[in-house]
Amino acid sequence: MKAELNIQSKKLELIQWLSTIEDLSLINKIIDLKKQENKDWWNSISENEKQSIEKGLQDAEAGKLNSHSKAKQLYDKWL
């Protein structure tokens, strides 16, 4: 609960600080930062990565899944 209060406190500090900014270039930098944070990761990955994800989703929908214990058995040497 203390961490939540700390976050809320920091948010309030930022809101108060933002309300005092008169420098348009600084405001635009903050807006750019916000836009970067809101970017969809899907648009930043390669076509191969997208195809792999789509294939995985299709396999999952078709029930082509391995159990956790099977995956652990297959990949245990790397875990």
Give every residue of the chain whose pLDDT is below 50, as ranges.
Answer: none
Task: Give the range of the structural domain holding residue 32, as residue numbers without chain letter.
Answer: 2-37
Q: Are residues 26 and 50 in the same domain?
A: no
Residue 55 burial (10 A CB sphere; 0-12, 13-18, 19+): exposed
pLDDT at residue 11 in the model: 92
* 47 and 72 inside one domain: yes
Indicate whether 32 and 47 sit together in one domain: no
Query: 30 and 7, same structural domain?
Result: yes
pLDDT value of position 1: 66
pLDDT at site 51: 95
Domain count, the chain: 2
The reported pLDDT for the residue numbered 30 is 94
- Beta-carbon contacts of residue 27 (< 8 Å; ≥ 6 apart): 21
